[in-house]
Amino acid sequence: MTTRKLLLLPGDGIGPEAMAEVEKLIAAINEEAGAGFESERALVGGSAYDAHGAAISDADMTLAMDADAVLFGAVGGPKWDGVPYESRPEAGLLRLRKDMGLFANLRPAICYPALAEASSLKRELVDGLDILILRELTGGVYFGEPKEIIDLGNGQKRGVDTQVYETYEIERIARAAFELARTRRGKVTSMEKRNVMKTGVLWNEVVTAVHGREYPDIALDHMLADAGGMKLVQNPKQFDVIVTDNLFGDMLSDIAAMLTGSLGMLPSASLGAPDEVTGKRRALYEPVHGSAPDIAGQGLANPIAMIASFAMMLRYSFEMVAEADALEAAIAAILDAGTRTGDIMAPGCRQVGTAEMGDAIVAAF
Ligand code: ATP
Ligand code: MG
């Protein structure tokens, strides 16, 4: 039997409570499907700082590099507001992203029919929505040099950020987009601002070239990012995979999140380059929500975002497509049956806590 090594990094706040529900699923999937998952927990964020004086220890970083996939919870909370900047809880995630080379951030926006009322849009626009925003995560204006504030000496200052993209960075995110589209509805929409940005011109050129050379079976569209943002809220179901840069992806994925209703529902994944020998990508999966210190430790957290992140892991790291489909169907089924945590509670539904929600999903899986 193959063994599949998972590193679980629950982090702070509601991270550990939500992670416990995934551990139930791991046990169930090992038992029923002989999946051979071996999981271990390690610390990240504020809890790692308390134990080791760093937001992730070198030893745990090694575990993450050696794992087949990492499931990350959430980090931070008021307890660690005063810790030194290099050791702040978020530094743990940033180090994981950097050392694991995670350049592709996948943010699905899925609207379960039972929750369509919670969307910012009319029900018919979002009911059954299933789109994927692919954001470039390690380049662009957040990292380009120079990046500085210059004192001009006359009472004026100049703030400088630099948007830089090179061909290889665009090629690898474009390939990831086309590969993902092949497993979905076969359509990619690339968004940039080629009308005002040189990086936009290059982005458009490189995505078009990769498409023509390697993925003629996929439908490719180009949109200016501002028009794309408008179409995303006007008629989101027209999209399948949207691929865009770090800055536009940051904004567009948050907008897409609001189309689906609740923060407690949304998963994400970050993928690295395929290994030259094995073809396997390093990967980290995490719920979009934060550590929610206001409800931590009370058994109130919605574990669905974490469970849906685990479903993405099954799909993308282990090609366990049937199991991922079944897990997503189990989530939809318990929502249809009216089982709700407080954050997604609606009239006529039955309110449950974190553990009961997890148990219901395990039972429906
Ligand atoms: P971060 O900066 O880490 O993203 P944040 O303060 O922006 O954190 P969250 O920690 O995600 O955001 O919390 C925002 C609000 O949403 C809080 O009121 C929190 O209780 C609620 N919330 C977030 N995640 C969940 C969840 N899984 N279940 C229930 N409520 C949640
Ligand atoms: Mg936040």
Q: Is 359 annotated as a binding residue?
A: no
The CATH homologous superfamily for domain 119-262 is Isopropylmalate Dehydrogenase (3.40.718.10)
Cβ of 175 closer than 6 Å to ligand 1, yes or no, is: no
**Segments of the chain scoring below 50 in pLDDT:** none
Which amino acid, residue 292?
Answer: A
User: Ligand 1 in contact with 292 (CB < 6 A)?
Assistant: yes
319: Cβ contacts below 8 Å, ≥ 6 apart: none
pLDDT in tens, 48-82: 999 999 999 999 999 999 999 999 999 999 999 99
Q: Does 250 count as an annotated binding residue?
A: yes
Tell the residue number behind the tokens 């087949």, with chain if given: 68
Question: 163: which 2 tokens?
Answer: 């948007």
306 lines ligand 1 (CB under 6 A): no
Q: Which atom of ligand 1 is nearest to the CA of 306?
A: 27
Give the N- to C-terminal CA distance of the chain in Å, as an integer.
22
Residue ranges in the chain assigned as alpha helix (H): 15-33, 46-52, 58-66, 90-99, 123-126, 167-182, 198-214, 225-234, 246-259, 304-316, 321-336, 354-364
Which residue in the block uniquely carries the two structure tokens 């994400």?
A: 268
User: In CATH terms, are 1-103+272-365 and 119-262 the same topology?
Assistant: yes
**Residue 254 annotated as binding?**
yes
- What local confidence, expressed as pLDDT, does residue 166 receive? 98
Query: DSSP characters for 5-57?
Result: EEEEEEESTTHHHHHHHHHHHHHHHHHHH---EEEEE---THHHHHHHSSSS-
Ligand 2 center–CA 263 separation, angstroms: 10
Question: Does 263 sit in the ligand 1 pocket, CB within 6 Å?
Answer: yes
Tens digits of per-residue pLDDT, 178-188? 999 999 999 99
CATH 3.40.718.10 given to domain 1-103+272-365: yes
Reported pTM:
0.92
Whole-angstrom Cα distance, residue 184 to residue 242? 12
Q: How many residues does the chain have?
A: 365
The residues annotated as belonging to the active site are 142, 193, 226, 250, 254
Domain boundaries, the chain: 1-103+272-365, 119-262
